[in-house]
Structure 1
Amino acid sequence: MKKPELLVTPSSIEDIKPLIDAGADAFVIGEQKFGLRLAGEFTRDDVKQTISLAHNEDKKVYVAMNAIFHNDKIEEARDYIGFLKEVQVDGIIFGDPAILMLAREVAPKLKLHWNTETTATNWYTCNYWGRKGAKRAVLAREINMDAVLEMKEHAEVEIEVQIHGMTAMFQSKRSLLGNYFEYQGKALEIENRKLEKNMLLHDKERHNKYPIFEDENGTHIMSPNDICMIDELQELIEKGIDSFKIDGVLKSAEYIIAVTKLYRNGIDLCVNDPDEYEDVKDELLGEIEKIQPDNRPLDTGFFFKETVY
């Protein structure tokens, strides 16, 4: 049975060595101006150092360039891709076709991962981008287990799925969501607005608090729950999913390191001794529940429920 890559999003360069020790196989890093919803900001020097640290341990580094690009950022993006080629990054994550076209010009041998967050919902679209040059498709978080496995069966590219962490529900450069509710006469309270951090969109009617994540690309409303699939890994591994992602956005370094260790244990057991994994998977879930913040319930996302857009 093939062992999937364990992909983690660190918040700083100081996290890289502890995460390698915890069992991470690869990292997603980058700069806000090019990548969406990054767990941390990595300067060019940070990127270079991260790649050096990772490659010394036979680990991989992917840089996010999955923002939506306007004309004024194209030349910056071209220059950045040239830099990534120079420092021997293992792959670029993109959503905008402009990045694919620039990569063809500047660094045609660089591996490309197609990630649009929401539109990788069928294998035809994944294979379309594969035939354009992408080597991996990052599946939408809103599709169920059957759809994920069916896509893997028919995909001509590697398949990555998120198995832990929060997910994005909404993005805008403007306060469109708040304006919408105000128009309906249902203005939602924004907690900690004056602090500009740890902000929460509070929906009292549903007793939900949605984290608000702000970066150079605008305002992002995040899910009120965290995906946790540590006790549901077997079918994904048996069907050959290529990469499992732990998303560390808005999480502490200590939390992500601890979660990475637990998933490393779970994946290794599932591959090497499936019977033992079955025996201990509830314990692994219990260990995550112990460190999970009280305001972030765990669930399995859309893996086992109907998708609603």
Structure 2
Amino acid sequence: MKKPELLVTPTSLSDIEPLSLAGADAFIIGEQRYGLRLAGEFTKEEIKKAITTAHAHGKKVYIAMNAIFHNEKVEELEEYIAYMKEAKADAVVFGDPAVLMAARAAAPDMVLHWNTETTATNWYTCNYWGRKGARRAVLARELSMDAIVEIKENAEVEVEVQVHGMTCMFQSKRSLLGNYFEYQGKVLEIENRKMKKNMFLHDKERHNKYPIFEDENGTHIMSPNDMCIIDELGEMIEAGVDSFKIDGVLKSTQYVVEVTKLYRKAIDMFVQKQEQYDEVKDELLEEAKQLQPRNRPLDTGFFFKETVY
């Protein structure tokens, strides 16, 4: 039975080594000028150092270029991709076809992962982008377990699925909060990297708090809960899903390290001795719950419920 890749989003350059030792197989990094909702900001030089460190541990590094690009940034894409090729990045993650075209010109052999976050909902679409040059499709977070398995059965490309962390519920290219506070005559320093600066939308009726932050890509409203399916990995591993992602956005380094250790243990145990995993999977879930802040309960996302639009 094939082990899925364990993909993690580090918060900084210093996270690469401890997360490698914790069991991560690959990392997604980048800068918000080109990538969406990153756990941390990496300059070009930091990306190069991260790749060197990760490769020394036998790990892979993928570069986030999954933003939606307007004309003023298009001319930068080829240069950025060429730099990542020179730095020996293992893949570029894209959503906008502009990145695909730039990669063909600047680095034709660069591995590409297609990720739009919302539109990868069927295997026909995954295969379309595969035939355009993508090696992997990152599936939408709103899919059920059955849908994911069906897509993997018919996909001509690798399939990546998020298994832990918060998910995005809303994005606007506009700086909605910043514009509001400016209208009110108040100064708001928008910074999504400092935990103490976190802002929330409060839904009193449902007793939910939705994390909200702004960056160069606009306003992002995140889910009130964190998904966690550490006790339900088996069906996707058996189906051959290629990559499981732990999203560390708005999480501390220590949290991401400990969660990575838990999923490493779960994956290895299921592949090597499923009976043992079945005996301890409830304990693994309980350990994951113990890591959660009180205001961030765990749930299973859309894996076992119908998506309602």
TM-score normalised by length of structure 1: 0.93
* Alpha-carbon separation, structure 2, partners of 1:156 and 1:55: 27
* Alpha-carbon separation, structure 2, partners of 1:99 and 1:142: 25
SS of the residue aligned with 2:275? helix
Task: Quote the residue 1:17 is aligned against.
Answer: 17
SS of the residue aligned with 2:40? coil
The CA RMSD over aligned residues, in Å, is 1.6
2:123 partner amino acid = W
> What is the CA-CA distance between 1:270 and the residue it aligns to?
0.5
* Alpha-carbon separation, structure 1, partners of 2:129 and 2:91: 15
> What is the CA-CA distance between 1:214 and the residue it aligns to?
1.6
Task: Quote the residue 1:226 is aligned against.
Answer: 226
Q: Deviations over 1:227-263 (max 9, x none)?
A: 0010001111000000000000000000000000000
Aligned pair 1:27/2:23, yes or no?
no
Task: Quote the residue 2:120 is aligned against.
Answer: 120
> What is the CA-CA distance between 1:112 and the residue it aligns to?
0.3
SS of the residue aligned with 1:294? coil
| Contact 1:19–1:260 (CA under 8 A) maintained in structure 2 | yes
Task: Quote the residue 2:168 is aligned against.
Answer: 168
- Please give the residue correspondences for 1:1-309 in structure 2 after superposition, counting only pairs within 5 Å: 1-174=1-174, 196=190, 197-309=197-309
1:209 partner amino acid = K
| Contact 1:37–1:213 (CA under 8 A) maintained in structure 2 | no
Residue segments in structure 1 that go unaligned for 5+ positions in a row: 183-192
* Alpha-carbon separation, structure 2, partners of 1:173 and 1:6: 30
* Alpha-carbon separation, structure 2, partners of 1:289 and 1:145: 21
Q: Deviations over 1:28-84 (max 9, x none)?
A: 000100000000000011100010011111110000000000110012122100100
1:111 partner amino acid = V
* Alpha-carbon separation, structure 2, partners of 1:65 and 1:108: 16
* Alpha-carbon separation, structure 2, partners of 1:79 and 1:203: 44
| Contact 2:175–2:214 (CA under 8 A) maintained in structure 1 | no
* Alpha-carbon separation, structure 1, partners of 2:262 and 2:214: 29
Task: Quote the residue 2:183 is aligned against.
Answer: none
* Alpha-carbon separation, structure 2, partners of 1:108 and 1:200: 42
Q: Number of matched residues?
A: 297
2:10 partner amino acid = P
TM-score normalised by length of structure 2: 0.93
SS of the residue aligned with 2:113? strand
Residue segments in structure 2 that go unaligned for 5+ positions in a row: 181-186, 191-196
SS of the residue aligned with 1:72? helix
> What is the CA-CA distance between 1:308 and the residue it aligns to?
1.3
> What is the CA-CA distance between 1:175 and the residue it aligns to?
5.9
Q: Deviations over 1:135-176 (max 9, x none)?
A: 000000001011000000000000000000000000012366
| Contact 2:152–2:239 (CA under 8 A) maintained in structure 1 | yes
> What is the CA-CA distance between 1:7 and the residue it aligns to?
0.1
1:255 partner amino acid = Y
